[in-house]
Homo-oligomer: A and B are copies of this chain.
Amino acid sequence: MELWFSEYQTKNVKLSFRIKEVLYTKQSSYQKIAVYETEDFGRILTLDDTIMLTTKDEYIYHEMISHVPMLTHGDASRVLVIGGGDGGTVRELLKHPVKEIHLVEIDKEVIETSKKYFPTISCGLSDPRVKIYFEDGIEFVKKNTGYDVVIVDSTDPIGPAVGLFSAEFYKNVFEALNEDGILVAQTESPILFDNLVKKIYKDMSSVFPYTNMYSAVIPTYPGALWTFTMGSKTINPLLKEVSSLPHIDTKFYRRELQKSYFILPPFVSNLISDRGV
């Protein structure tokens, strides 16, 4: 018998993995959660049949969404993660001298699933510096403040995460941040979703004095070239000196490239510049 998991990356593009074993499937209150053991990408977590992570390449996404804003800030002690119930982002954040991490995950079942099936990813969730809230991140940022860095580690802008991709949400995050605070969000692929990338950049730019996009390759995400968009209140990430900051042990991120990451391929810069609107 052949068992395959296929993700429709768009309605016209499909990525499929041969499955050794279906480890878990559950319909939670919010979404369908599944864990598969694949032949070539290790174990994978899907939400509504969309790949969240594979144990083969998850470090790329988690390192890039964490270390770029953390080193840009340089002295973050209180960090908020919205989404990210698998724990990968928290694991990376704990490599920095943070005092407190708040994780706001709407779906408790995601955290339970990760704790059970992804121990190398969820390992930081039980750290005493981490406090978990099972709430909607959109509401949470309206009521909580005092963060140095806010990371939006969300699903795609369909379903429960749609409100995390709006100028209104970015405004609320702006208010939730300390005066030198930084927001970063995963912001999809300019190869397949160019209009969405353009809109996100425009929305975030309308709120933050410094808005910078960077990219990384995420082999199992649609389009593979993935963007992250960072809004900063006072720190210009292109001028921030990071060489004296402590070394962080990573597999993909390199501190030497901290500023280079913001130098985008011309087709992406053109997309988000006025020329691209």
Partner of A265, one of B18, B40, B252, B260: B252
Cα–Cα, bound, A257→B254 (Å): 14
CA distance A59 to B255 in the complex (A): 28
In the complex the two chains form, is B267's CB within 8 Å of A10's CB? Answer: no
Among B12, B38, B254, which residue has its beta carbon within 8 angstroms of that of A263?
B254
Q: Is the CB of B225 within 8 A of A254?
A: no
Q: Are B267 and A263 in contact (CB under 8 A)?
A: no
Once bound together, how far apart are the Cα atoms of A218 and B217, in whole Å? 9
| Chain B residues, CB < 8 A from A11 | 18, 39
A140 at the interface (CB under 8 A from B): no
Tell me if A162 is interfacial: C-beta within 8 Å of chain B: no
Distance between Cα atoms of A191 and B254 in the complex (Å): 17
Q: Which residues of B sit under 8 angstroms from A266, Cβ to Cβ?
A: 250-252, 254
Shortest A42–chain B CB gap in Å is 11
By beta carbon, the residue of chain B nearest A267 is B251
Instruction: For A254, list chain B residues within 8 Å (CB).
Output: 263-266
CB distance from A236 to the nearest CB of B (A): 17
What is the 8 Å Cβ interface bit string for chain A, positions 218-246, against chain B (1 contact, 0 not)?
Answer: 11000111000000000000000000000
What is the count of identical protomers in the complex?
Answer: 2
A15, closest chain B residue (CB): B15
Q: How far is the CA of A41 from the CA of B17 in the complex (A)?
A: 21
The answer to whether the Cβ of A29 comes within 8 Å of any Cβ in the partner chain is no
A267 to B18, CA, bound (A): 25
The answer to whether residues A263 and B256 also contact, given A12-B39, A217-B224 and a CB cut-off of 8 A, is yes
Q: How far is the CA of A60 from the CA of B260 in the complex (A)?
A: 18
| Min CB gap A10→B, angstroms | 5
Alpha-carbon distance between A257 and B17 when the two chains are bound, in angstroms: 34
State whether the Cβ of A4 lies closer than 8 Å to any Cβ in chain B: yes
Q: Is A57 an interface residue (CB 8 A)?
A: yes
CB contacts (< 8 Å) of A142 on chain B: these are none
A56 sits at the interface (CB 8 A): yes
Q: Mark A177-215, 1 if CB is under 8 A from B, else 0.
A: 000000000000001100000000000000000000001
Residues of B within 8 A of A219 (CB): 191, 223-225
* Interfacial chain B residues near A264, Cβ < 8 Å: 254
Q: A12-B18, A224-B217 are in contact. Are A263 and B252 (CB under 8 A)?
A: no
Cβ contacts under 8 Å, A252 to chain B: 265-267
Closest to A222 in B: B219
Contacts of A4 in B (CB 8 A): 14
Q: Give 18 pairs: A residue, B residue, CB < 8 Å, sorted on A.
A: A10-B40, A12-B39, A13-B41, A14-B17, A16-B16, A59-B267, A191-B219, A217-B224, A217-B225, A219-B225, A224-B225, A251-B265, A251-B267, A252-B265, A254-B263, A254-B266, A257-B260, A260-B263
